[in-house]
Structure 1
Amino acid sequence: MNWNLLAERVLAGHELTDEEGLSILESSDDDILNLLHSAYQIRKHHYGNKVKLNMIINTKSGFCPENCGYCAQSIDSEAPIQKYRMMDKDTIVKGAEQAHQLHSGTYCIVASGRGPTNRELNEVTSAVEEIKQKYDMKICACLGLLKPEQARQLKEAGVDRYNHNINTSENHHDAITTTHTYDDRIDTVNHAKQAGISPCSGVIVGMKETKLDVVHMAKALKELDADSIPVNFLHAIDGTALEGTNELNPIYCLKVLALFRFINPSKEIRISGGREVNLRSLQPLGLYAANSIFVGDYLTTAGQEGTKDHQMLRESGFEIEYPTPQHTSI
């Protein structure tokens, strides 16, 4: 496959077939630099050499009734994680200060559970309103399954983006969780879109899915028109249903990122959970396809120190995209 020619066709409007998608994932490891170079042509066209930074705050840990096999917070998980109820407004606002100091363009407010209670939603919306006044930064909420009226409440408070990952392909979904459906997840993303909130939805790769499943994940997110696509690589946690799963290697992860860029050429593609343990020393190469990363810790696993991420970006020749005010006063 001529990757440069395929990249040119994508920039001209071509949509990859399943066969072309599989050819990326099944390509020779020896060809990885050529593949990344071509993916970078697409990335550079839309985003130049800039990298967006995002930071997560885990505002509620554990106590989740869902049985997602990858998650340490699942009802079936025996992982020894810290559990706590919903943080108060002041603690959430304090986390935004740290995100601001790390030059994060987006502050992601995440809570475990099937969906937010009225009290939890009120805590989040109250915090968002104060964060907007103090830091004027972009806010992403990730609170589980969402009802239309809840989406509207988040929009009115100033939430810019809502994250709800599809996680895997529709075909593989029931092998990962049975307490909610794939359509439940799609509905939540659509509720956010209908409320005027930018949709964020991504995947977790490495959960015993097939390569064709991965292609279908990327295509599903294109059809969903997600503005931001977090690509997580499974960091299997002891005590979860996927404990001991280790299907990934750095080169394959790079192929996955290239695939998502070819299929979703103009979208923000973020290297997310599992970046450090799966890409390892090849982390900088992932940014030739992706244009965004998380800084700081994830939900129940530690990330790379924020200052080391900044150093990695500078030494790799990438430019941090510093946040700009969301609103300007005249």
Structure 2
Amino acid sequence: MIIRNDWTREEITEIYNTPVMDLIYRAATVHRAYHDPNEVQVCTLLSVKTGGCPEDCAYCPQAARYHTDVKVEKLMDVDKVIKAAADAKEAGSTRFCMGAAWREVRDNRDFDKVLEMVKGVNTMGMEVCCTLGMLTEDQAEKLKDAGLYAYNHNLDTSEEHYEEIISTRTYDDRLDTLNNVRKAKISVCSGGIIGLGENHDDRVGMLHTLATLVEHPESVPVNALVPVEGTPLEDQPRVSIWEMIRMIATARIIMPNAMVRLSAGRVRMTVEEQAMCFLAGANSIFAGDKLLTTPNPEEDLDKQMFQTLNLKPRASFKDQEPAVEFKQIPEQQEA
């Protein structure tokens, strides 16, 4: 199978709506052709600058305009971030991501400090990732020169539903940042959130945008909304495990070489539910007790899960080429 960037929405819709057992089987087949099914990348996400963000993302407790329990904190000191990265590496993480509640990166002392953080973590043999908001080409180049391995900038949802969630930046702004990251030859991490009040067409639309980029993102996070009191989406119902599985499996089939990350919302999942997500093609998680400001399973629970499921952590900087020559995927079975 050739990796495609010309998927149509109709094709992705058909995959997404496949009977769920057939969908899992097909996704698992693709997953085994491109990845070790017993290997999961363990990442740690640290909020290096928390709260006070001027944006109005309806799901985010870090937006200054919402009344949440998030306390505004200034940018962390470099040495504290390096210590946190060392602790994460000791706990088994091979990728360390630093997030700042900024609308965009500005060329100032804070950005200089972030560059020092990137340099420091890079010397530890970990994949260094940042999520700092919008980036210019020049800023992306500076991050690359400092040793940045990956940059996260999620689309969040479909272009059609986007204005219902965010008004302070456009969908094209997000795509421009992804383009600037790609130009700097930095690995792209981009996915989205389900449970924002979108419909199934919106979920397909977001996946279609990602799968038709000139190059697929190397990492695709699939987040389930964790509603936070004080945000406009505080009363949104929980996303079901089957909705997560459909998103993960579809992403795996249409972007077979990507790391598909089981991200926010995992704290509400049982080990059995997470195992179904791994079977459907997820092969990356965030470890640690928080994802920026929202809860995440404790490290000890993840270690127990890895032992139960006989999973092993994926090494840093592993070759992204398919593990074996791809075999033809069986045609979708009739229900």
Task: Give the TM-score taking structure 1 as reference length.
Answer: 0.89
1:40-189 to structure 2, matched below 5 A, reads: 40-49=28-37, 50-117=39-106, 118-133=108-123, 135-189=124-178
Residues 186, 154 of structure 1: CA spacing in aligned structure 2 closer, same or farther, 3 A cutoff?
A: same
Specify which of 9, 12, 16 is matched with residue 21 of structure 1: 12
The secondary structure found in structure 2 opposite 1:235 is coil
Which residue identity does 1:76 align to in structure 2? Answer: R
Shift of 1:255: 1.3
Inter-partner Cα distance in structure 2 for 1:180 and 1:23: 31
Is the contact between residue 250 and residue 279 of structure 1 (CA under 8 Å) also seen in structure 2? no
Shift of 1:122: 0.7
Structure whose residues are more often helix by fraction: 1
Inter-partner Cα distance in structure 2 for 1:100 and 1:243: 34
Residues 24, 268 of structure 1: CA spacing in aligned structure 2 closer, same or farther, 3 A cutoff?
A: same
Encode CA deviations 1:268-316: one digit per residue, 9 max, x unaligned. 1101111222577411110111111111120111210112212212312
Is the contact between residue 12 and residue 208 of structure 2 (CA under 8 Å) also seen in structure 1? no
Q: Show the counterpart of 2:296.
A: 303
Inter-partner Cα distance in structure 1 for 2:252 and 2:259: 9
Which residue identity does 1:121 align to in structure 2? Answer: F
**Which sits farther off after the overlay, 167-176 or 312-321?**
312-321
Inter-partner Cα distance in structure 1 for 2:270 and 2:231: 22
Q: Show the counterpart of 1:4.
A: none
The secondary structure found in structure 1 opposite 2:223 is strand
Structure 1 gaps of 5+ residues are 1-10
1:165-244 to structure 2, matched below 5 A, reads: 165-224=154-213, 225-244=216-235
Is the contact between residue 218 and residue 264 of structure 1 (CA under 8 Å) also seen in structure 2? no
Task: Give the TM-score taking structure 2 as reference length.
Answer: 0.88
Q: Show the counterpart of 2:252.
A: 261
The secondary structure found in structure 2 opposite 1:171 is helix
Is 1:292 paired with 2:292?
no
Q: Which has the higher contact order (CA 8 A, sep 6+)?
A: 2
Is the contact between residue 128 and residue 148 of structure 2 (CA under 8 Å) also seen in structure 1? yes
The secondary structure found in structure 2 opposite 1:167 is coil
Inter-partner Cα distance in structure 1 for 2:192 and 2:200: 13
Inter-partner Cα distance in structure 2 for 1:91 and 1:209: 39
| Matched pairs, number | 312
Is 1:312 paired with 2:302?
no
Q: Show the counterpart of 2:26.
A: 38
RMSD of aligned residue pairs (Cα, Å): 2.0
Inter-partner Cα distance in structure 2 for 1:68 and 1:199: 21
Is 1:282 paired with 2:273?
yes
The secondary structure found in structure 2 opposite 1:141 is strand
Is the contact between residue 122 and residue 148 of structure 2 (CA under 8 Å) also seen in structure 1? no
Inter-partner Cα distance in structure 2 for 1:156 and 1:244: 43
Inter-partner Cα distance in structure 2 for 1:98 and 1:254: 31
